[in-house]
A = this chain, B = another copy of it.
Amino acid sequence: MAGTDSTRTNTDHLEQNAPAIILSHPQLGENIGMVARAMLNCGLTDLRLVNPRDEWPNEAAVKACSGATVVLDNARVFSCTEEAIADLNKVYATTARSRDMTKDVYTPNGAIKETRSFLANGAQCGFLMGREAKGLNNDDIALADAIVQVPLNPSFSSLNLAQAVLVMGYEWYQSGDVTPDKEFTFPEDTRLANKQELVYLFEHLESELDETGFLYPPEKRPVMVRNIRNIFQRANLTEQEVRTLRGVIKKLSRKA
C-alpha cells in the first residue's frame, strides 16, 4: 500500500522553522493526502486541519499521500480557525482576491519573501487554504494578515487544493534552495575537455578536411574553420567525447 514504510521518512534535513499549512474545512480525504504529498515534496511538515468533513485519521488520505505519512501522522485537528492559528504570528489567506476587503494581496513569491523575513525575526507563519470549490469565507480571511493570490489564466484560474499547496510549497522550497539555474553535468569518470584537447580535435578534423578539398578555396578556409570550430565549442565537450569524435573522424577518413 502506498506509504506503508514511510512513517520513517527522514525530515531532519528540512528547515525546522517552516510555515504551517492550515486547511479550513477540507472535504475529501484524498485531497488532504495529496496536500500532504505536496507539502513533503517541498519540505513542509506542519499540517493543521480545521473541522475536516470526514473522519480523521482518514484512510483515503493515507492512500493518496504516496508515502507522505509523516505529514498525516503529525497533522493536528482543530475545531475552529482561531485555534488552529493561535500560536502563529503571521497568516496568509490563499484565496481569490476579495474586492470587498481592504487587504494586502501578495503573489506566492512575494508572500514567501515576506515570510522569510518574518521567520528570520523568529515569527511563526502559516498559509490558510479554504475548502474545495468554496474557498475561504470572509471571516477566515479577516483572521489573516494578507491575501495570497496566484497569478493564473484569468479565464481558468481555479487550482485544486493540493495544487494550491504545491505552488506555495514550491515557492518556499525554491526560496531556500541554492541550485544554480543552469548546471552542466557529466558522468563522474570523465571531465570537461581542456583547450589543448579541443585544438588537437579541431586540427585533426581540419587536416582530414584539407585532404578532401572540403576547405576550398583557400580564401574561404579561415571562416569555414571558425564556423566548424564554433559548433564544437558550443557542445561543451568532455574529454571522453573528444576521444569519441576523434575516433569518428578517423573511421570516416579511412572509409573515404
Chain A residues with CB under 8 Å of chain B are: 6, 9-11, 13-14, 37-38, 40-43, 66-68, 97, 99-107, 109-110, 113-114, 150-160, 162-163, 166-167, 170, 173-174, 177, 179-188, 190, 236, 238, 241
Contacts and interface: CB of A to CB of B under 8 A. Distances in A.
A153 B42 contact: yes
A137 to B, nearest CB: 18
Given A106-B181, A162-B163, 13 more contacts: A9-B156, A11-B155, A40-B156, A67-B156, A97-B185, A102-B190, A102-B238, A103-B184, A104-B183, A107-B174, A107-B180, A150-B170, A151-B173
B186 A102 contact: yes
Given A170-B170, A185-B105, A179 B159 contact: no
A155 B105 contact: no
Contact of A182 (B105, B160, B184, B186): B105
23 contacts: A11-B155, A14-B153, A37-B160, A38-B163, A41-B159, A43-B153, A66-B158, A68-B156, A97-B185, A99-B187, A101-B187, A102-B185, A105-B183, A106-B181, A107-B180, A107-B182, A109-B174, A110-B181, A151-B173, A151-B174, A152-B173, A159-B166, A170-B170
Nearest to A114: B182
Contacts of A38: 163
A185 B13 CA distance: 39
Nearest to A155: B10
Contact of A152 (B42, B159, B185): B42
B110 A182 contact: yes
Contact of A167 (B14, B110, B166): B166
A170 B114 CA distance: 20
Contacts of A180: 107, 110
Contacts of A185: 97, 99, 101-105
Contacts of A66: 158, 160
A151 B180 CA distance: 10
A19 B174 CA distance: 22
A166 B190 CA distance: 35
A184 B154 contact: no
Contacts of A160: 37, 66
A66 B186 CA distance: 41
